[in-house]
Structure 1
Amino acid sequence: MPKPSSAHIEALFPTLVYRTVIEGAGRLNHDLEQAALALAENDTAGRRWCEKHGYSGYTSYGSLADLPDRSPLFARLKRGIERHAARFAKELHWDLRGGKPVCDTMWVNVLPEGGSHSSHIHTNAVLSGTYYVTSPEGSGPIVFEDPRHGLMMAAPPRKAQTPRPLRTYVSETPVPGSLILWESWLRHEVPLNRARAERISVSFNLVIG
């Protein structure tokens, strides 16, 4: 009688998220905070875009998404982002054929108490991410959704204590100086900001250049 073979379970098709904290970012964050608040006050076109699209707080996404071309401060941040994006691309084993990740759009977000960002993806990009300038306690995490979610059909729900890699939704709670990168097709959202202070961040997209 043949001996039963042992079972083997293999993890396939992982979804990678890159996270780091920029050391000594205090001065950078101070300057970025002041720049973001100035944009929120003076960017009339951006405020009109936010009002038209029902956007909580302020974002320069619809008006000034080329911030590194306008400001040395954002150009400095762009250089740091591209260094980390290059490391992430190596971990993803991408064949870049001599190219590299290039940050082609960047915008600021000022999210007030009660504000949120609904679930979305970033089109026309390969990597996306956010750098956190201020993140008051209670301002909420960023939440990533299992990209297979819409294909699961009759799959049973996960248990409450499901290990992190197997969860349907995974939260990342940022601190000031946090930089998070993910592949642009990964759906994500920002739940309600329950802090009394604004959460300020800089979001961006990267293409292969």
Structure 2
Amino acid sequence: MSDITSLFVTRLYQAALSERGKPVDPVELEASCWSIAEDDEAGQAWCDENGYPGYTSYASLTDLPYRFPIFKDLVPVLDKHVKAFAKDLEFDLGDRKLKLEDIWINILPPGGIHTGHLHPHSVISGTTYVAVPSGAGSIKFEDPRLAMMMAAPARKKDARAELSTFSYVSPAAGDVLLWESWLRHEVPINMADEERISISFNYSWD
């Protein structure tokens, strides 16, 4: 009798940030993101020079948890989510652990996009969502085998999720998404009338 199984599964973790650890005040978190963006002249300049829509602190502020108490409170909550995901992935970490490598703010304006990319040199990457107005769009994940599918036909539009070439996930404010850092992803155009605010991060194997 025929037997078809799935090999080399790509895992995606989605949960409410509040499920693990001390709750982080969402109102204060959003206000802090705006305040940081307004004061970060170096970050604003980097965005202008590099054609980055909206604002990101990725290239300017590398120590948010040391500068702002709410980000310090956020880190142990993220640590617990990452620990749960690492357990699901069945990583053999030995006597080392996964540790936060960097964390940054993203404010994507109406019409803004973040093109396809991955996060080299990290193990787990993720985003927690602060403000997701209606129409702000999904995060788009790409089948990591895509580059090797030179002669393959396209998938059916109603193909099962695990067989789709692209997967779209629509997070809500307060959600956290985690994935392995090699997974290519992008943020399609923000069709909302307001900014989409998120906080992204990478964990390395320390």
Tell me the TM-score normalised to structure 1 length. 0.94
Say if 1:208 and 1:26 are closer, same or farther in 2 by CA, change over 3 A.
closer
Query: Which of 17, 20, 45 pairs up with 2:12?
Result: 17
* Aligned with 1:99 (options 96, 114, 120): 96
String of CA shifts for 1:133-182, please: whole Å, max 9, x gaps: 00001001100000000001100100011011110000110101000000
C-alpha displacement of 1:98: 1.8
1:97 Cα deviation (Å)? Answer: 0.5
**Residues 62-97 of structure 1: per-residue CA shift (max 9 Å, x gap):** 101321122221011111111110111111111101
Which residue identity lines up with residue 141 of structure 2 in the other structure?
F
Alpha-carbon distance, 1:27 to partner: 6.2
Q: Deviations over 1:9-44 (max 9, x none)?
A: 110000001010134899621111111111111100
Q: Spell out structure 1 runs of 4+ moving beyond 2 A.
A: 22-27
Aligned to 1:71: 68
Task: State which of 178, 183, 186 in structure 2 corresponds to 1:189.
Answer: 186
Backbone CA RMSD of aligned residues: 1.4
CA distance in 2, matches of 1:109, 1:141: 15
CA contact (8 A) 1:66 1:104 kept: no
SS in structure 2 at match of 1:110: strand
Partner residue, 2:51: 54
Alpha-carbon distance in 1 for matches of 2:118, 2:101: 16
Distance 2:190 2:77 in 1: 27
Instruction: Please tell me the residue identity of whatever aligns with 1:35.
Output: S
Q: 1:136 aligns with which of 127, 130, 133?
A: 133
Distance in 2 (CA, whole Å) between partners of 1:26 and 1:105 is 21
8 Å CA contact retained: 2:42, 2:60: yes
| 2:126 alignment partner AA | G
C-alpha separation in 2, matches of 1:65 and 1:123: 17
User: In 1, are the aligned partners of 2:143 and 2:164 still within 8 Å (CA)?
Assistant: yes
Q: How far is the alpha carbon of 1:61 from its aligned partner? A: 0.3
* 1:146 corresponds to which of 143, 147, 150: 143
Name which of structure 1's ranges 18-27 and 172-181 shifts more when overlaid on structure 2: 18-27
1:83 to 80, 83, 97: 80
Task: Tell me the amino acid that sits aligned with residue 91 of structure 2.
Answer: W
**What TM-score do the two structures reach when normalised by structure 2?**
0.96
Q: Distance in 1 between matches of 2:182 and 2:65?
A: 24
Aligned-pair identity in percent equals: 46
